[in-house]
Amino acid sequence: MLNCRTLSSLMLAFGATLAVTAAWATSPPASQAPAAKPAEEAKRSTSTADHSKFKELQRSFTSGPEVTRACLTCHTEAAKQVHRTKHWTWEFLNPESGQRLGKKNIINNFCTAIPSNYAFCTACHVGYGWKDQNFDFKSQANVDCLVCHDTTDKYRKLPGWAGHPPYRDTEFPPHSGKIVKAVDLKTIAQNVGKTSRETCGSCHFYGGGGDGVKHGDMDSSLANPGKYLDVHMSPETHNFTCGTCHVTSSHDVPGSRYTPTAVTRAVPMRGKESDANPATCEACHTDKPHSLKGAEVKEHAAKLDDHTVKLACQTCHIPQFARGHVPTKLLWDWSTAGKLDKDGKPFVVLGSNKRPLYDSKKGDARYDTHVIPEYIWFNGMVNYTLRGEKLDPDKVVKINSFEGSPTDGKSKIWPVKVFHGKQPYDKQSLSLLIPHTFGTDEYAFWKHFDWPKALEAGMKAVDENFSGEYGFVATEMTWPITHMVAPKDDALRCTQCHSKFGRLQAVQGIYMPGRDGNRVLSFLGGWAALLALIGVLVHGALRIWSNRKGG
């Protein structure tokens, strides 16, 4: 039974704690972070050119390609440079695996694939007019300069417009009653500048069909992040743009999810030709970052530095992703798509976090914020399950497999987002299928919700057969987590990994104090320590006794 007095004193302590908690919780709110972009920032531009003074830009434009032609009168080599990049080709040949990758070739478990859906997906292409397989990749005028160099934040490309912005006021989405204003090409062209978080984010924040859907560590909250969200990109701290790390030369942006840098072997040096990736933590912080500065206890810093051999910086310094209150998608189940309401219309069921739990067009979904990453060994090699590759429908198909092991000498433990899906496959050929989703034609799934027709059209677009028999197979896709770096005080604590049920619980092949142990060894060690203590005590006692006896 509890003693009443004890309870009373505990209650007082409890009350006091509550009071403190209440005081803390009601502390006057500071201004809502992040801070708005200062007006002077634009004035501080370091550009040596005022584009509004250029004769070529002092006219009206009726289309994007017209603007590009004007840009090319001065920037004569720009389009040719863009033509060589993945941003333009949407294609990448992995030199190590020999796999032909890129958006043009892979099937993912989000919207699946671009063939037959070009006009929708190419809203994020750095070009104009990619509406089918006949797109002219050699046309310089088709390069979209404005999508990356707009500084007005008013340039917008709409899904379904094959990479073009709206040239007239347009109801979008169709039948929604919402009007998207026509872009003012002249004003935008006269105000071009360096890329920014907003311009890169206009596509990369919205990958997979919505804000934060795909990556988890990139969403619209990074456009103007608070210090808590990204210690590098926040205007409150270093105000990095994407280009600060992804140092770009000749329009070729380094850093690729097809060949990520898992372990930094070399860092770029000014004045020296190098193909080293500048967008790694080590490129600035070195591989011994903790002892460089600010370490109060040298031994502790050295111990932390020891960890960099096996741990990616991101493992400790990005404790969760989707921390900016934009939910990221974690599940996409195409197998349930196509249900209609009693009037035969598609419908959406929103969850409490205002994201769809169900959408007739896309099926079941799950979203969350502040997601704890999964952790894997990763050596930078990624293998994709490509179109035509055989799959086992009874197993989870890995859209991409991250290679790595504790013993290959090339791997580190990385945080990743694992995205789960269910998507169509051909029951006869046992390979992934491409659905034709977008369009107003009779085959478009989002219009008619007819899987066989949509799959037939999708496969026809890549000149491949569809047997007519389809099912849905469980898939998963892995994404490395590397953005949303938290302030150093919020890095993982030792015990968050060095404990029985810690973050690295599932990571095999490494001995971790606090997590791993051998019962027999612990038993023997315990007894050895106890016996040693007894021995010391007995020895000491005998010394005292013999000393007294002798004296």
Partner 1 sequence: MWKVIGGFVGGIVLTGVVGWLMMPSMMFTERESPFDMEETVARIQQNVQETGNGWELSGLRNPARAIQRDGGNVLPVMMVEACSTKYSKPILNDDSVRFLSILMPCKITVYKKNNGKVYIGTMNAGLMGKMFGPLVGEVMGEVAKDQVNFVKFDPSKPAPKMIEGVPGGDGKGGAAGGGRGC
Chosen residue from 163, 208, 319, 421 binding partner 1 by CB under 8 A: 319
Q: Is 314 in the site for partner 1 (CB under 8 A)?
A: no
Binding segment (CB under 8 A) for partner 1, from list 39-47, 65-73, 129-137, 225-233? 225-233
Q: Is 10 in the site for partner 1 (CB under 8 A)?
A: yes
Closest distance between partner 1 and the C-beta of residue 267, in Å?
28
Closest distance between partner 1 and the C-beta of residue 245, in Å?
20
Q: Is 20 in the site for partner 1 (CB under 8 A)?
A: no
Q: Is 30 in the site for partner 1 (CB under 8 A)?
A: yes
Q: Toward partner 1, which CB reaches closer, 60 or 352?
A: 352
Chosen residue from 59, 238, 370, 543 binding partner 1 by CB under 8 A: 370
Q: Toward partner 1, which CB reaches closer, 357 or 386?
A: 357
Closest distance between partner 1 and the C-beta of residue 152, in Å?
29
Q: Is 284 in the site for partner 1 (CB under 8 A)?
A: no
The two tokens of residue 200 are 């890169």
User: Percent helix, strand and coil across the chain, each rounded to 5?
Assistant: 30, 15, 55
Q: Is 302 in the site for partner 1 (CB under 8 A)?
A: no
Binding segment (CB under 8 A) for partner 1, from list 6-14, 126-134, 178-186, 519-527? 6-14
The two tokens of residue 360 are 């007739």
- Distance (Å, whole) CA 129 – CA 131: 6
Q: Is 39 in the site for partner 1 (CB under 8 A)?
A: no
Q: Omega before 173 cis (within 30°)?
A: yes
> Concatenated DSSP letters for 340-398?
B-TTS-B-EEE-TTSSEEEETTTEEEEEESSBPPEEEEE-S-EEE--TT----TTS-EE
Three-state DSSP state, 190: helix
- Binding to partner 1 (CB under 8 A) within 484-523 occurs at 486-487, 489-490, 496, 501, 503
Chosen residue from 357, 430, 494, 512 binding partner 1 by CB under 8 A: 357
- Distance (Å, whole) CA 416 – CA 483: 11
Binding segment (CB under 8 A) for partner 1, from list 31-39, 147-155, 435-443, 474-482? 31-39
Q: Is 476 in the site for partner 1 (CB under 8 A)?
A: no
Q: Is 227 in the site for partner 1 (CB under 8 A)?
A: yes
Binding segment (CB under 8 A) for partner 1, from list 10-18, 64-72, 80-88, 271-279? 10-18
Closest distance between partner 1 and the C-beta of residue 503, in Å?
7
Cα 238–244–249 angle (5° rounding)? 165
Q: Is 142 in the site for partner 1 (CB under 8 A)?
A: no
Q: Is 269 in the site for partner 1 (CB under 8 A)?
A: no
> Concatenated DSSP letters for 111-172?
S---TT-HHHHGGGSSBS---STT--TT-STTB-SHHHH--SS-----TTSTTPPPSS-EES
- Distance (Å, whole) CA 385 – CA 398: 7
Q: Is 316 in the site for partner 1 (CB under 8 A)?
A: no
Nearest to 213 by CA among 487, 485, 477, 491: 477
Three-state DSSP state, 451: helix
Binding segment (CB under 8 A) for partner 1, from list 2-10, 100-108, 264-272, 273-281? 2-10
Q: Toward partner 1, which CB reaches closer, 253 or 486?
A: 486
- Burial pattern 76-97, b for ≥16 Cβ within 10 A else e, equals eebbeebbeebbbbbebebeee
Nearest to 260 by CA among 398, 402, 125: 402
Chosen residue from 179, 266, 350, 533 binding partner 1 by CB under 8 A: 350
Closest distance between partner 1 and the C-beta of residue 236, in Å?
7
Count Cβ atoms below 10 Å from residue 101 Cβ, excluding itself. 23
Count Cβ atoms below 10 Å from residue 485 Cβ, excluding itself. 22
Residue that the structure tokens 């111990």 belong to: 303
| Helix (H), strand (E), coil (C) string for 468-496 | CCEEEEEEEEEEECCCCCCCHHHCCCHHH
Closest distance between partner 1 and the C-beta of residue 3, in Å?
5
Chosen residue from 19, 302, 533, 538 binding partner 1 by CB under 8 A: 19
Q: Is 297 in the site for partner 1 (CB under 8 A)?
A: no
Q: Is 361 in the site for partner 1 (CB under 8 A)?
A: no
Closest distance between partner 1 and the C-beta of residue 476, in Å?
17
Q: Is 336 in the site for partner 1 (CB under 8 A)?
A: no
Residue that the structure tokens 């907003």 belong to: 198
Q: Is the dihedral of CA 209, 210, 213, 215 positive or negative?
A: positive
Helix (H) or strand (E) holding 18: helix 4-25
Binding segment (CB under 8 A) for partner 1, from list 19-27, 91-99, 453-461, 472-480? 19-27
Binding segment (CB under 8 A) for partner 1, from list 86-94, 99-107, 185-193, 317-325? 317-325
Q: Is 1 in the site for partner 1 (CB under 8 A)?
A: yes
Q: Is 407 in the site for partner 1 (CB under 8 A)?
A: no
Q: Is the dihedral of CA 454, 457, 459, 465 positive or negative?
A: positive
Q: Is 218 exposed, middle or buried, given 0-12, 13-18 or 19+ CB atoms closer than 10 A? A: buried
- Distance (Å, whole) CA 17 – CA 9: 12
Binding segment (CB under 8 A) for partner 1, from list 64-72, 154-162, 224-232, 277-285? 224-232
Three-state DSSP state, 425: strand
Nearest to 348 by CA among 363, 326, 330: 363
Instruction: Tell me how many residues contact partner 1 (CB under 8 A).
Output: 52
Q: Toward partner 1, which CB reaches closer, 156 or 227?
A: 227
Closest distance between partner 1 and the C-beta of residue 514, in Å?
14
Helix (H) or strand (E) holding 330: strand 328-333
Residue ranges binding partner 1 (CB under 8 A): 1-4, 6-8, 10-11, 14-15, 18-19, 22, 24-33, 226-229, 236, 319-320, 323, 325, 349-354, 357, 368-372, 486-487, 489-490, 496, 501, 503
